[in-house]
Structure 1
Amino acid sequence: MACPETFSDEPLTPAGRLFLQPQTDVVIHCILRGKNACDIDAIKSAVKSSLMVQHPRFCSLFVRDKNGFEHWRRTQIDVDRHVIVINNRLDNSGEFVDERQASSSEDDDEAAVNQYVADLTVSCPLSMDKPLWELHVLMAHKHAVFRIHHALGDGISLMSMLMVSCRRTDDADALPSMVPDKRPEIKGGKGRAWFWLFGGLWWFLKMVLFTLVFSMEFVVRSFFVSDEKTVITGGDGVELWPRILVTAKFLLDDMKAVKRAVPNTVTFLELLHI
């Protein structure tokens, strides 16, 4: 990895600034479950050699200069500060318990990890003195929890990067298969070139028109429309209320049936090459 001093500060994008505001601070949580016991040394080694830590956002600090402008600043990654090891077992309420007193069924592990993540969302914000991501390893439950700030990327880009950091089960040195690019080939002479030119111009004009319409609608709604009060409407400080995380299980065969029922679409299964 290049020395951080060789890189200049990079300003935040508007979306990045939005996700880093205290009112809209968003952290993405991704739970991974393993079959075997977690090997911390192997995990740290895999993180150090992965493409994830080579990504500029994953090795940059969020800084604010004296003029109030926000930037990403490159820094050296200390993996020991990002990989957090939890050795004790948790119960269904997220409290640490003695190993001899806790049950170890799959459902109990799932409930305990869900509650652990739910507690993280309100009690443990990401520290700003290091790049905005963490990996919590729950040794007793054979689970790992990725915590990645939304300012680093959206769900699809983070899933793609996680996939690139993995390897195939049948070939430990090969990258997983991704969805091939299905862009149509452009053939024809000058007539076809003019067709694509006018098509591109029409697409650009529609984009500008719809952008103006949706922007005006957004501004009008922001000033004159408010959410209706319902039985689940929260009060002041709702972002700090206790959370409950519930997971659902789906059979891959059922998801493949949905994929076959909706043709000509790129689904999550295709992103995973299933």
Structure 2
Amino acid sequence: MGRESSNEWEDEPLTPAGRLFAQPEMRQIIHCVVGTKNPFDIDSVKSELRKSAMLQHPRFTSLLVRDHRGREHWRPTQVDIERHVLIIDRPLSDADHDSAVNSYLADLSTEGLSMEKPLWELHILMAHNCAIFRIHHSLGDGISLMSMLLACCRKLHDPHSVPTIASSSSSRSRNTTWPNILWNLAVTLWFCLVFALEFILRCLCVRDRKTPLSGGAGVELWPRKIATASFSLQDMKTVKTAVPTATINDVLFAVISSGISRYLDFRAPNGVQEGIQLTGLAMVNLRKQPGLQELSNLMKSNSGARWGNKFGMLLLPIYYHRSNNSDPLAYLKRAKAMIDRKKQSLEAHFSYKVGDLVMSTLGPKFASWLNYRILCNTTFTISNVVGPQEEIMMVENPVTYLRANNSALPHALILNMVSYAGRADMQVQVAKDIIPDPEFLAKCFEDALLEMKEQVTAKI
């Protein structure tokens, strides 16, 4: 306990999800990467940090401590900005900026954060015009943290306005006749049962067959490499017109499926069985308002879009098909059909509720073991955060790109995509002893989208 200006500080217990990410097996640090047009003014950065919304949030000004029973708590403390801001003046390497920054991120992916200060850092790579926010996952999920980051930014062409928060609303018309309501309810219940059973089996015993992309227990400790796949959002929008009611997420998953098939054709020609399943683990935002959230809404305890970790998991299977025999748009049709079935189920909500129940009844160690098992039994992780639609600036410095990735997992392949101002960058993180050439894999993803776009435009 302590006091400052007569306000008594009290420890606050972590949420169940926060406790999960405090376990050694599930220790996760989110890296938000911001590239800028000009070098940073360090004094201005520190000044903005001191008065930012981030340091008004108690989790960013608290230590993570454990009591005598081993339960985790947030303990408020004084924040010394100098301990949190790390300045790297020298060039990281002779490579280009993207390669140098990705190499630095790869090294960070197996490093933790000091428990002797609040669980965040800001690394500024002066020679590369890049800032990396390192934030422990127990502080919040990608939506919370991206919203916090953007609250510190302003629109490039309207410096007094915060960036546009992208949100999506369902425009799908619904047939409200009783037969259709009953049919939709029956379909939802069926998919709930099927996917819930699949999820439980994945936690316990069912696992993907071995491929050149497979990870496993202990792989989170292996050295990492990172490459970036860049996409035009306009290209993705063009491709999605090929299938009625398709979404950007459908296109993204089709690109991943096609790109992985291309890569396996190169790495293991004739060595992977046609149609073999590789299962992805996707993190899905469960807040009432999809997309990024207004920071003020996240801070309200009675808001449906509350701060912290509020996401579920989806098992998203893809299937290997030899690329020279495949219709590029067939990947999109399969992806949409599969994701539509997932949308009709409550799998993400089921995984969230089960995780919450397990944490509350059996404790964080058992919950951590279950999560670790499902990571070991699947092949890759995928996340997608929608960023601002217009160009923004940070500390009056125009932002050229936004990217994200997280700490290493038992997966040998981790994919994190963030969109920004008409572009989407996907960080391709790999265990380099299993996947030695992430640059080629990233190009496979880029080529997959371009091939789909060419086929769509050829039909116009």
Which TM class, normalised by the smaller chain length?
Answer: 0.7 to 0.9
Alpha-carbon distance, 1:249 to partner: 1.8
On the 8 A contact 2:88/2:123 being kept in 1, the answer is yes
Alpha-carbon offset, residue 218 of structure 1:
4.3
- Paired letter, 1:113: V
Matched, 1:237 2:218: yes
Alignment of 1:88-127 (within 5 A): 88-91=90-93, 102=94, 108-122=96-110, 124-127=111-114
Partner Cα separation in structure 2 for residue 70 and residue 8 of structure 1:
13
Residues 138 and 210 of structure 1: is their aligned pair in 2 closer, same or farther, counting only changes over 3 Å? Answer: same
Determine if the alignment matches structure 1 residue 171 to structure 2 residue 158.
yes
Q: 1:273 aligns with which of 389, 393, 396?
A: 389
- The answer as to whether partners of 1:28 and 1:149 remain within 8 angstroms in 2 is yes
Shift, 1:228, TM fit: 3.3
TM-score of the two chains, using structure 2 as the length reference: 0.46
**1:1-274 mapped onto 2 (5 Å cutoff):** 3=4, 6-91=8-93, 102=94, 108-122=96-110, 124-179=111-166, 218-234=199-215, 237-255=218-236, 257=238, 272-274=388-390
Q: 1:269 to 1:238 in 2, by over 3 A?
A: closer
Q: Which amino acid aligns with 1:138?
A: L
**Residue identity matched to 1:43:** V
Alpha-carbon distance in structure 2 between the residues aligned to 1:135 and 1:53: 13
Structure 2 distance, partners of 1:3, 1:209, is 56
8 Å CA contact retained: 1:119, 1:242 = yes
Deviating more after overlay: 31-40 vs 211-220 = 211-220
Distance 2:112 2:123 in 1: 13
The whole-number CA distance in structure 2 between the counterparts of 1:233 and 1:270 is: 28
- Structure 1: gaps (5+ residues): 92-101, 185-198
CA contact (8 A) 2:143 2:385 kept: no
Superposed displacement of residue 247, structure 1: 0.6
CA distance in structure 2 between the partners assigned to 1:233 and 1:269 by the alignment: 25
Q: String of CA shifts for 1:39-68, please: whole Å, max 9, x gaps.
A: 111111111111111112211111001121
Q: Select the structure of larger CA radius of gyration.
A: 1
Q: Partners in 2 of 1:209 and 1:65 — Cα distance?
A: 44
More moved, 157-166 vs 230-239? 230-239
CA displacement at 1:257 relative to structure 2? 4.2
Q: Is the 8 A contact 2:142 2:385 kept in 1?
A: no
Check conservation: 1:256, 1:269, Cα contact below 8 A: no
Unaligned runs of 5+ in 2: 172-180, 249-289, 292-383, 391-460
The count of residues paired between Structure 1 and Structure 2 equals: 242
CA contact (8 A) 1:51 1:165 kept: yes
Question: C-alpha distance in 2, partners of 1:252/1:3?
Answer: 49
Distance of 2:191 and 2:223 partners within structure 1: 40
Q: TM-score, normalised by structure 1?
A: 0.73
Shift in alpha-carbon separation, 1:112–1:179, aligned structure 2, 3 A = closer
SS of match in other structure, 2:223? coil
